[in-house]
Amino acid sequence: MAIRSLIVFTLFLSLSLNLKAQSKISLLGRQMLYAKTEAERMLSQESLANALDSLLLMPSGWEARFDTIRSISAIKAPDETFWLFTWNVPQEDGTYLFFGRIRMKNQGKEAGKLIVLNDASSQLTKVGTKVLKPEEWYGALYYKIIKTRYKKTSYYTLLGWDGNTAFSNKKLIDVLSFGSDLSPRFGAPIFDDGKRVRHRVFFEHAEKASMSLRYQEKTGLIIFDHLAPSQPSLEGQYEFYSPDFTTDAFRFEKGKWVFIANHEARNEDEGAGKPVKIERGLQPQKD
């Protein structure tokens, strides 16, 4: 009976600590997004990161709930092998600095490996053709993980958002995979548009436009709005791009996401709806 009581007490204490940490993270997240100065926002981010790390380094961190914390994106892989956390700090110049963590699944009674992601996007070049390590990550706020597998390699395709600048936003499709030592790498040559193969895909559009980029479980397609300039003379000036009411897609075939132009999505209502709208890195309210 004494052992049973001890187990119950330990579980209660762990739950209490988790709830306290989640409440602290939620408060710090609001400060991180809405504090008046960039310095205050960065200080709040640092405190948030420390609080999140403390929680995730506990074995019970794997079971913590994050669905009420809107200031960070917390998504678990479909096969439940890792959690992926991303968040951002708005900068004075209209850009965003991103932060992230990968928390691997518990190993028995031990907490799983915790991996820090460092946003190096401002220093990267030719990012469409590079495999990136965690310390040179192209920062983004992810909202969907899609698992595919080909020749014993598991690919975790990521749909994400990048606030980019005061004049344009980006959405992107990246891919995460793991080495034999569970070391993560971002990007792989698996996005084939018929002309070239890329490691990741970017969509840039006007800041006030809303672009839909979503995964449709029913068909296995990544479906997205086609973007075009408001006038032909503005081609290449992406702050003037917006959806043109046509739709394209990617389908996973033989280890690659193959581009499908002018995909007709009207009769495929699963996963349809409004585009994922993210403001200042604040996630849409979860159900």
Domain boundaries, the chain: 120-287
Beta partners for 214?
223
pLDDT in tens, the chain (287 residues): 444 443 333 334 344 446 677 888 989 999 999 999 999 999 999 999 999 999 999 998 898 888 888 899 999 999 999 999 999 999 999 999 999 999 999 988 899 999 999 999 999 999 999 999 999 999 999 999 999 999 989 999 999 999 999 999 999 999 999 998 889 999 999 999 988 999 999 999 999 999 999 999 999 999 999 999 999 999 999 999 999 999 999 999 999 999 999 887 654 544 444 555 666 666 554 53
User: Is this prediction's pTM over 0.85?
Assistant: yes
Contact of 86 with 117, CB cutoff 8 Å:
yes
Nearest alpha carbon to residue 214 among 177, 260, 248: 248
C-alpha distances out from residue 52 to 45, 55, 92, 279, Å: 10, 5, 25, 22
- The two tokens of residue 161 are 């958002």
What is the 3-state composition of the chain as percent helix, strand, coil, each rounded to the nearest 5?
Answer: 25, 40, 40
With H, G, I as helix, E, B as strand and everything else as coil, classify residue 160.
Answer: strand
Contact of 250 with 260, CB cutoff 8 Å:
yes
